[in-house]
Structure 1
Amino acid sequence: MSQRRLPQAPAYWYDGSVPPLSARMLSALYASVTALRRKAYARGWLRSRKAGAPVVVVGNITAGGTGKTPLVIALVARLRAQGWTPGVASRGHGREDEAAPRWVDADSVAAQVGDEPLLIARASGAKVRVDRDRVAAARALVAAGCDVVVCDDGLQHYRLARDVEIEVQDARRRYGNGRLLPAGPLREPVERAADCEFRVLNLGVAGEGEAQRESGFGEWPMRLQVAAARPLRGGRAQPLSAFAGQRVHAVAGIGDPERFFAMLREAGIAVVPHAFPDHHAYTPGDFAFGSKLPILMTEKDAVKCAAFVEAQAYTVPVDAQLPEAFWIALLDRLPARLR
C-alpha cells in the first residue's frame, strides 16, 4: 500500500502531545507579531483599502484545508441567482510565479494560476483574478464589471476592506490544540473567530463517520454532497456506489487528505491511499502505482492531472449544502442600495 509522508501538520497539533520547546518559543514570537499587526489596523496606523464594491471574505484561522473552495463556489452561484455579478479574488497558492497577477478561465493552466482558482473558474464560470495583492485583484474584478467580490482565503489580508467575513472550520479537527503557529494550527487566536459575521462548520459528507458531529451555537452547518464520479478523459459519469466493493487508488493533495479517504471508505470502497502535500505539482511518475486499479481523486487534484492520467481516472466533485436561513442572513448583510 502506498502512503506518502506529508511535510504538513505535526502530530502534536491534534493529538494532545506537548509541542517542542522551539515551536513554543516561535509561537510566542508569532503571537506578538500578529497581535501588533491587528492592533495597527484597529488603531488606523495601517489602512484597509476599499475595492469599490461589496467584499465577502471566506477564510479560516487555522492552517490547512477546511472546505473553503466548495463554499466559495456555492456562494458565487447563490449571488448570481440573486442578480449579482460576482468575481473571485485569490492569491493562487502554489503557482509558478505568485508575483504575477493573472486572469483565470476554464482554459488556464494550474501551474500558472493555482489549482483552487482554476477549479473555481471552471465550476462557477465567474471571473477569477489571482494576485498577491488582494486589493489590486478585487479592484481589477470591479473594473471588469463585477459588482461583488468574493475573496478566497483572505481572512488575514486586512489590507482589503470587507463587508462580510465567513470563517470556515473543519468539524473533525476544530482548532486542534488551540496554539498559534508553529506550535499549533492557528494563524490567529481563537477569539478572532468571534469577529466574523458567519462561522461555518464543515461537517463533511453525510455518513462519513461525522454524523455525531453537530454545529454549536452561532455556527452554521455545511454538508458536502457527493456528485457522481466523472471520468477525466470524458465519458459517462458514474455514481460513487458503482465503486463499492472494489479496490481503488485514492489520490488527494489537499489540506486534509484523510477526509477524502474516509469519505470513499464510508461508501464501501477499498481505498489504497496516496496522500500528497497540499497544492502538489503532479507528474506522471506520481501515478506509477504498480497495479491497474481505478483512480479516484479530488477536483482540486484533477485540474492538474487530466493531461496524463490513465483512462480509469475519475474526479469526485462535492457540492456545499447550507441552510436556507444562512443564505438569507448573508444576503441581508450586503448593501441594500446595490441589490
Structure 2
Amino acid sequence: MRSAVYRLENLQVRYGNRLVLDVGHLEIGEGSILGLEGPNGSGKSTLLRVLAFLESPTAGSLLFMGVSASGCDPLALRRQVTLLLQDPYLLRTSVFENVAYGLRARGIREGIRERVFHSLELVGLDPASFAGRPWKSLSGGEARRVAMASRLAIRTPVLLLDEPTAGVDAESAVLLKSAALKAREEWGATLVVVSHDMAWMSQVADTLLAFQDGRPGRHVVHNRFDGPWSEQDGGLWSMSIGDGQSVVATKPPASGRTGFLDAEDITVAVRRPQGLSMRNAIRVTVLQMTLENGSGAVLLKGACGNRILTARLTRSSAAELGLVPGTEAWFLFKASAFQWE
C-alpha cells in the first residue's frame, strides 16, 4: 500500500454558520490520482484550497506526510504543493518568465532554462517558438498550457488541478491531460483533480469521490462503451473492445449509443468458469488494485488491448483471488447489465 501524503479526520470548514466542507475520513496515497466530481458549490474547490494550505479547517485534523499541518509553517507547506486554478493568472511578461517565475521564487538558480523548456515540451509547446512570446499573444488554450508548464517546472510532490481542461480547445485538453499524467510518471507526483471529464477520470483515477453538500461519497465507477454496436442473433448486440474480444449487450436504444457498465456488476475470476450463464467473459491483464476511499472496497483495473476496465470487489474477495499486477483475470458480467445514454 502507498504511504499517505494526506490524512483528513473529521475535517470541517465553516463560513459563519454554514458548513461548506465535511470530510469524516480521507487518505490520499503517495503517487495516487484522486478525482473529485460534483455540482458547483458542493465543496470540491474548498477541499483543494485546504489541501493547498490556502485555507485552514474550522475543525478536525489534517496530516501532511504524517505531520499535523496545524503545527507547521504554512509557507513551507505551500512550497510542496502547487495548484492550477480553472482561470489561472499569467504575468505580463514572456512565456519563459512565466514558467520560470516559480523556480526563481524558490531560490532556484541552476538549470532554469532546461526545466522551463522541458515543461513547455510536456504541454506540447515548442520552446523555440513559444519561450520568447509575450503573454498577450497566447490563445486561451495556450495560456492554460503555459500555466500548467509553470506548475510542472517546480516539480512539487503534489499537483492540484481545478477543472484543468474546462473551456479549452480539444488539442489543449488532450495535452493538458497528458502533462498531468507525466507529472506522476516522471517524479511520482500525487494528483488531486476536479473535472467533469468523467470518461478520462474513470480511466486514470485510482479513486473517484462524488461531492454533494460538502460531503464526499462513493462515485459509481462506470466502464464506458461507445458505439457503434452490431446486431447479433437472439436479440443481442456486440461491440469489439480490442485484443480479439467483444462485449455482448441486450438491445441498445440505437447502434451508436453509449453503454455504461457499473464496476460493481462485474464478477472477477482467476480462470474462465465452465457452464457460464453470463454472456460476457473478458480476459484482462491486471494493472492495478487500490483501496477505495470511504467504502474500503478494492478497485481492480484490468487491460484488454488498449482499453482499461474497472471492477469493484470486497477486500476479502480480492484476498481470496490472490491477483497481482501482471497476472491474468476474467471479468464476467451479464448482457443486461448495461445502462444506456
User: What interval of TM-score do these two structures reach, taking the shorter chain for normalisation?
Assistant: under 0.3
**TM-score normalised by structure 2 residue count:** 0.25
For CA contacts below 8 A with separation 6 or more, give which structure has more relative contact order.
1
Q: Which has the higher strand share?
A: 2
Structure with larger Rg: 2
